[in-house]
Amino acid sequence: MTEDTALTPFRIDVPQADVDDLRDRLAHTRWPFPVPGRDDRTDFSRGIPQAYLQELAAYWRDGFDWRAQEAELNAYEQLTTVVDGQTFHVVHVRSADPQATPLVLNHGWPGSFVEYQRLVPLLTDAFHVVIPSPPGFGFSTPLSGTGWELARTTDACAEIMTRLGYERFAAHGTDAGAGTTGRLAALHPERVIGAHLGADPRWLGLVGDKFPYPAGLSDDEIARIEAVRAEDAADRGYLEVQNHRPDTIGPALTDSPVGLLAWIAEKFRSRAAGDHRTPDESVDRDQLLTTISLYWFTRSGASSAQFYYESEHSGLDILMPSGVPYGYAVFDAHPLLRRAMDPGKAADHWSEFTEGGHFPAMEVPELLAEDIRTFFRGVS
């Protein structure tokens, strides 16, 4: 059978019954018994503190306006298309300039197309912006089956750009979206103008894991990298669960909004400039809750975890651009990051910022937009 390649217009319209059900579940949350003496809302040493989580849940229930956020998201053109049997949701924002450069923005977990909401208007004078949701994320649900990992997703992303009429395009990504962006450039070098990757000190966790330590590091430098890796490892419990036991965590993320809130909100706790903040001090509270609401309404807490399982068990190597210009924008910069990740200074572009963190499009969209512009001005 020939696959239907149609691009179908899409508009977000969550049933009111689902909105009411969310508020009802939040109102009837069965909270754990608090541990005496642990009432500090800023103490994240054991995970997200209950005192802070209760504040955030109360606002989600009584202060957050989903319909207002839904209307803002619907201001952008959206569509769905089926690739290899999987429905993909795509945000497509055309520039007023018909000669603008097509730019695909890729994200990972716990991101969504909402992650780029504040970045888009800063780019559309120069770029046609395309934001595909990976399989199992947002409205790219439900999953059509097993086997949706990074390589298959990358091929689907390239096909989506073809269907939109973009033979040549630029690419940006963070988190797992950086993996998609790197693979696009490596496997489709004739199509990708350049690959721009957002990074933060968590990338040091890849050194010694996915990549060997570069030659010439002193014992002190290795110790400093290991310290960052150890801190990152303490925050990786969610990753190990999603990589290996998505069926176990999935029902909790689908049935309990507070469970989903705790699971995702903790990951938005920024370490920008070494300053430990609560999640909604790092990013806008309504944008954070719009992201989490999207996971809730689409049941993608469970299905996005399946994406991580598939990628972990795919046996894929990390692919970097080959013959395609690439660059990094590093946020909450660590002095050893380039020494460890790009010791030969092979990257065509490297910017470091003390501000921001793992979600730069939400934390510091102006900085990220300017860096994207700067990079692609130099390669296009």
DSSP 205: G
| Alpha-helical runs (H) found in the chain | 16-27, 50-62, 66-73, 150-163, 176-187, 219-234, 237-244, 246-255, 257-265, 279-282, 285-298, 300-312, 337-341, 360-363, 365-377
Partnered with residue 328 across adjacent β-strands are 197, 350
Amino acid at 214: P
Give the separation between CA 82 and CA 268, rounded to whole angstroms: 31
Q: Which of 175, 200, 280, 332 is catalytic?
A: 175
Q: Which of 107, 166, 358, 371 is catalytic?
A: 358
Helices (H) and strands (E) in the chain, counts: 15, 9
**Residue 233, token pair as written in the block:** 């490892």
**Residue 311, token pair as written in the block:** 């990628």
328 catalytic, yes or no? no
**Residue 227, token pair as written in the block:** 């310290």
213 catalytic, yes or no? no
Q: Which of 116, 238, 308, 309 is catalytic?
A: 308
21 catalytic, yes or no? no
Cα of first residue to Cα of last residue in the chain, in angstroms, is 39
Q: Which residues contact 179 (CB under 8 A, 6 or more apart)?
A: 108, 150, 173, 318
Sheet order of strands, 169-173 included: 8-9, 78-83, 86-93, 127-132, 101-106, 169-173, 192-199, 326-331, 349-353
Amino acid at 115: E
Catalytic amino acids? 175, 308, 358
